Structure 1
Amino acid sequence: MDLNNIQRVYFIGIGGIGMSAIARYFHENGVHVSGYDRTETALTRQLEAEGMQVHYTDDVNLADPQANLVVYTPAIPPIHTELKWYLQKGYEVVKRSDVLQEITRELFAITVAGTHGKTTISTMIAHILRHSGYGCNAFLGGISVNYGRNFWSSEKRVAVIEADEYDRSFLKLSPDIAVLTSMDPDHLDIYGTEKDMQEAYIQYTRNIKPNGTLVAREGVQRAADLQGDNHLWYSLQSFTANAYAANIRMQQGGYQFDVVQQNWTVENVTLPIGGMHNIENSVAAITVAQLLGISADAIRAAIADFKGIRRRFEYVINNDHQVFIDDYAHHPEELRALISSAKALFPGKKCTVAFQPHLYTRTRDLASGFAESLSLADEVILLPIYPARELPIEGVSSETIAELISDKPVQILQQDEVLDWLKNNTAPLFITAGAGDIDQLKEPVKGILNG
């Protein structure tokens, strides 16, 4: 696949967060881009406003017969009419990961993988490189609040890429700098066992280019098996790591701290977003920036200006009377970090969490972990499972989690019932969490809580 000789690209699933980033990459390089998605969203409307053609009916008559390249997401079922048509007609049909594979071959690639934190760290790195004037091409798994986008381009032949473990996509990448945040079990519908999933992460580190660097979180599983010619370890506060945070102070829903390594220190870093885990994420991002030779002053200025990612510890409301946080957390460890950080930042406020489980398999495999993390809240609201690509599994529902929460009030509500509940109850610290469509509650909840 020669990315430089493509005139027309067609995307099946163009509205996905990762797919849309690649669509924007081609579009900004002068390629004709069009595509299909199942439903119209704010993101697909943005793509259309930027000049890309998008339709929402699985119909080969609406597809591009002149496409040089067809890109599809693994979330698309093999029975999809347009996908089958392109395959039968002999078009070059590839997955999103195949395009990223070529990009990492051609450019100096910084990739971020792990069960947690990869969207925040990759966005932080890309923001530091852009804000400092270093420059990069960014392929992100979330929408940067600073720029309102999940992709931006640069003449600098550097790419920052969120490395997605779903469908083993990240194993096609060839990074110069590889970040690894965690190997907590997830996507066991793909990997089967936790050990097999860990083996995939180890393979990810084997794909680091010669003389490349692995930046891994200290304490990550199977640390002795990780590859890469150069290793750096980062941590929240462990002095044995190569880079860690010190002198952490909470301020106005964010933090100030120093990032310390053996031969350098970035003092008085101001991070204006919440979550202790985001301090650790910033340590990883700052470590990568330092490897690239970006100055402490430029790093400090960039982090102070970092506004976060939509749905990553996003403050929808933050005042003395009411705090409303919306977050993408869909794994027990992510929920634990979210709830514990919010309670630490806003002590004394009753914490109510509305959580929408994502996938039947994940709920089945991690139910006890979800219950344990949700029990950190003072009150729990569970929404029905968001199935995404899955069919229901008998005996698996939100009740599976609810039955394991014995020490806190818990109820299962539909989305409209959550709004009715809020009209009749106080929730001074209210959190919505999940990777499904719970984000549709954000604006109506904001209206009720502001009312």
Structure 2
Amino acid sequence: MNVEKLLSWKGAGPGPLIYFIGIKGTGMCALAELLHNSGFSISGSDRDEVFYTDGILKELGIPYVESFAPEHVPAKADLVIYSAAYSAETNSEIAEAKKQGLPVLKYTDALGVYSAGFDSAGIAGVHGKTTTTAMAGTLIRGAGLPARILAGSAVAGFGGRSTLILGDKYFVAETCEYRRHFLSFHPHRIILTSVESDHQDYYPTYESIRDAFIEYAKLLPVNGELIYCADDPGACEVANSINKGRVKLIPYGFTASGNFKIVSYKAEAERSVMRIAAFPGELRLRVPGRHCALDAAAALALTDSLVRAESGSWTAEAQEGVRKALEDFRGSRRRSEVIGEAGGILFMDDYGHHPTAIKTTLEGLREFYPRRRLVLSFMSHTYTRTAALLDEFAASLEKADLVVLHKIYGSAREAYQGGVNGKTLYEKTKALRKGVYYEEEPLGAVELLKGLLKPGDLLLTMGAGDNWKLGKALFDHYSQEAPR
């Protein structure tokens, strides 16, 4: 059985045996859950470090070992899927599977094969993929559509998982541009949130990353749909490169024309309130920022496309279901995630690690919480990105009242030989503004922030690194201080 037929298997009894190497990864665990739900026999391996996915795998009853060794690979496995974080050169289990002649697929390739079995939609862009995917799943559920959703992080409304299983007709997945991984996907629809320079270790110029998104958009079939952000120059450039007679272009945003133009937006009483041209009445969001309003418009455009494909038109019940679902949306893990409030201080965590995402997130929080002082802990991710966008990083921190910077959170995938480090960003930022501090290790800033934080503040830990531990440590400290 070839892998295309294998991953589209539907039958009774125990299904084909698939072994996952790196099964605790967010995407790997999600794909394992989707296949487990379809009746496949799933097992796997990973490191012994505890992840949030440990609980999901145990709840599903999926067995896994917490080490890598050649003898773990089942000789009778019908397919081996491995995380893109590993290779046969670095992982003995991948090498063993190939030695045994077992079918072996990288996660992104397996996701692509899986997507071919559905009417699939890929969510892409440098920023906003995870939130848009999470919102799309939330609205699709509100509209009552038979779909499966795979987001790039745990979503509160998905029961703390990154998957939502509502049926077997449509598949919506977050798709990643790094190393052109999304070119394995088989989209009938694509949401394109943004295109700009990023992943400089792989895409040295803006043009190189733009061309990858163009290549992805050109995978759309005749009469496929590209739902793109009209407010983003890079997304517009990609849309303008597509043969307009072949693919339907659907713009969304504040400057868009057509059905998904955001015609009004305001923040009031810790809600974002917006109107979209083709949707009746107001839509309300609990998550802050105009960037989240854009994500909501994109998710609504995709939901609209699926509603029309499924039944031809909206019902009043589906419209109300979508409206309620959007206001109930609480975000996803590490995306403006509220950790809690203690000592009068609101603690939040966010994955933003690109200057544009940082700027829009801080602006959104400033607008959403106008009476709170915004205190930021930021940890830059990758030396190449920091070096390439150093001035942009320093300028992006403007909206925070106080900023604590840390060392750069490096990546094993880069071989940077330059001289930029965390203190370089600190000096650059300090030259632009006051209220900037530096602590090499995030947890080293605990005492500093105890002296800086006041009741009414918002402490935001931001970045793709591990400075979220700083926010947790401080939240725990102030929680213990609270009167009992």
Query: TM-score range, shorter-chain basis?
Result: over 0.9
| RMSD of aligned alpha carbons | 2.1
1:209 is displaced (CA, Å) by 1.9
Q: Quick check: 1:34–1:52 contact (8 Å CA) kept in 2? A: yes
1:391 is displaced (CA, Å) by 6.0
| 1:241-280 pair list within 5 angstroms | 242-260=259-277, 264-280=278-294
Distance 2:342 2:319 in 1: 32
Residue 411 (str. 1) matches residue 443 (str. 2): no
Query: In the TM superposition, what whole-angstrom CA distance separates every residue of 1:372-401 from its partner, at most 9, and x where no partner exists?
Result: 112332221122222242467342321121
Q: Quick check: 1:14–1:44 contact (8 Å CA) kept in 2? A: no
Distance 2:61 2:191 in 1: 34
Distance verdict in 2 for CA 1:204–1:87, change over 3 Å = same
Residue 27 (str. 1) matches residue 45 (str. 2): no
Residue 396 (str. 1) matches residue 420 (str. 2): yes
Aligned to 1:108: 119
Q: Quick check: 2:459–2:471 contact (8 Å CA) kept in 1? A: no
Aligned to 2:86: 76
1:104 is displaced (CA, Å) by 2.4
1:321 is displaced (CA, Å) by 4.0
Using the size of structure 2 for normalisation, the TM-score is 0.87
Distance 1:345 1:139 in 2: 29
Distance 1:442 1:67 in 2: 43
Given candidates 344, 354, 358, the residue that maps to 1:335 is 358
Distance verdict in 2 for CA 1:54–1:421, change over 3 Å = farther
SS of structure 1 residue aligned to 2:168: coil
Q: Percent identity?
A: 28
Query: In the TM superposition, what whole-angstrom CA distance separates every residue of 1:266-289 from its partner, at most 9, and x where no partner exists?
Result: 311111111221011101111111
Distance verdict in 2 for CA 1:115–1:82, change over 3 Å = same
Aligned to 2:311: none
Distance 1:268 1:155 in 2: 29
Amino acid at match of 1:389: A
Residues 434-443 or 74-83, more deviating = 434-443
Distance verdict in 2 for CA 1:288–1:165, change over 3 Å = same
Residues 107-116 or 166-175, more deviating = 166-175
Given candidates 141, 148, 153, the residue that maps to 2:152 is 141
Distance 1:244 1:217 in 2: 10
Distance 1:144 1:388 in 2: 25
Distance 2:379 2:24 in 1: 21
Given candidates 428, 440, 446, the residue that maps to 2:469 is 440
SS of structure 1 residue aligned to 2:389: helix
Distance verdict in 2 for CA 1:85–1:321, change over 3 Å = same
Aligned to 2:76: 66
Aligned to 2:102: 91
Distance 1:442 1:15 in 2: 24
Unaligned 5+ runs, structure 1: none
Using the size of structure 1 for normalisation, the TM-score is 0.93
Distance 1:200 1:164 in 2: 11
SS of structure 2 residue aligned to 1:404: helix
1:4 is displaced (CA, Å) by 3.5
1:82 is displaced (CA, Å) by 1.3
Given candidates 339, 342, 349, the residue that maps to 1:326 is 349
Distance verdict in 2 for CA 1:318–1:286, change over 3 Å = farther
Q: Quick check: 2:192–2:228 contact (8 Å CA) kept in 1? A: yes
Given candidates 222, 229, 235, the residue that maps to 2:247 is 229
Residue 345 (str. 1) matches residue 368 (str. 2): yes
Aligned to 2:179: 167
1:123 is displaced (CA, Å) by 1.1
Unaligned 5+ runs, structure 2: 10-14, 308-313
